[in-house]
Structure 1
Amino acid sequence: MSLTVAAVSANFTRDLEQNYALIEQLLDEARAQGARLVVFPEASIGGYLSSLGNHGDTVRTTKRSLPPAIRLDGPEIRRVQALAGETVVCIGFCELDDDGETRYNAAVCLDGSHVYGSYRKVHQPLGEAMSYAAGASYQAFDTPVGRVGLQICYDKAFPEAARALALDGAEIVVSMSAWPAARTATAEDLQQDRWTYRFNLFDAARALDNQVFWIASNQSGTFGSLRYVGNAKVVDPGGNVLATTLLDAGLAVAEIDVESTFRTMRGGMFHLRDRRPDVYAALTAPDAPESTGWKDLAHA
């Protein structure tokens, strides 16, 4: 059965009313094109950090520039549910833990009546650990549009993250980002920037690695010192880009058929079936064996 999905490229700030208005506008546009699943970027509720690296936002130095911390069961998420209605929505936000202090870069998948699953970002780039605690697991979950797995931004650079979701039965992996252009030697044409290239390459590779549908959203425009690269997209299990926004804000909309595509793609070469876990022990060892040279490479 075919399913229309949409990936969002848009700019979200600290202004929650601006966020909700933009969410509503984009949902209306997506639904007008038949979308039943709409994927918003990382940090769509309250915006992302204004900078990264050694001078990044940090709880220890300021609270003014940090995203608002939101509880998963709080009014902000309920407001998104009210906007979602019957549409399945995946969206990023800053989650406040039950202790009232710990913050996570998080995402949730919901519609107007259910929260189907949530996720706390595991892999943290640059200085992000100064602002957020790290998550510790990957789990897929069932929704009205199929079995979905969530990840956020830098996670896509780690094949193990997508593989864990695929092994848990994810048919659609949702990858939400606030992915910027390179901080140094930035290309004049952002579509040719090396970080844009990596963003797009990871999306195609992870879809093909695991033979899953991959929906990648991203922030666009600028926020603080960060200049985002957009390029929201829908990728099929063969690594083919079905729709993309390129650098523009807007929607990448595509019609997919999970069952038919999986039957075709996985009928012959099925990457999950053909794995050899018996030879992968070093991948999960606390320390790689000295003979591999991995430690030396990691510190080169």
Structure 2
Amino acid sequence: MQKHIIQVQLDFDRLNTVPAAYFEVGGGTPIIMLHGFMGEASCWLPLSEQLKSNFRCIGLDLLGFGQSARPMIRYDIAKEVAFLRQVVETLKLESFYLLGHSFGGWVSAAYALQYPVKGLILAAPAGIRDDSFAGRYDHLRPILWETPAIDWGLELIKPIANLFGQEKTIGQIAWMRRELTTQPAARSFLVDRLRPEDAIDTVEKEIHRLTVPTLVITGDRDETIPLWHSETYANEIPNAKLVILPNADHSLPQKFSLQLATQITQWSLTH
């Protein structure tokens, strides 16, 4: 399925004509879909194909990602929530499901803490403070340095990396560095959250206040977001339902769209 990108212009955060990009397909109850970190709305195309007969699927590029605006600002969850709220108001959506994967799940939970939604669907959601992440990616910090010396160094070690079978690793590092150069939101979140004490906008202390029907879905082979993060959401949100998909990893929208569609459709019949 091909996506047709629509853009609406917002006045956001004292910035003029900020584009918000999204695709839309299907009919029925609206469901806004929020992608993961360093992702974009196209990850939802397989799921939209499964849901379009029953839902008006709206895949949104979050602020700083995809074809939405990428202003050079300090990004945080509050700004993503404010951006999403303006999109909701612009599209005049009064009752809708909010579906978020990983980083998008974090934004979705934070949004639902402030504004009404018909139902909340969290797919392997981030947003739970986890100090075990601290230091895990310290070896990748140099890719955040704003100096061409890193790019020169990567080019210089390519021949050596090829000899030792590490060309894929070097290629991934070079790709991530290029992506971070073009994605100010991703860069801002990484730079501003290198220490555990920087995790000031996680939602684990607030989600017990949610009263909206909530479905939490995760895979039992997710190596990106630990299972206990999803369990925290399910345990803290009153009457939330937790579904653990067997043999599923973190790429739920891309590789497990049929399973997601089945769970969402069945759950929505009673919510």
TM-score, normalised via structure 1 length:
0.34
Structure having the larger proportion of residues in helix: 2
Larger strand fraction of residues: 1
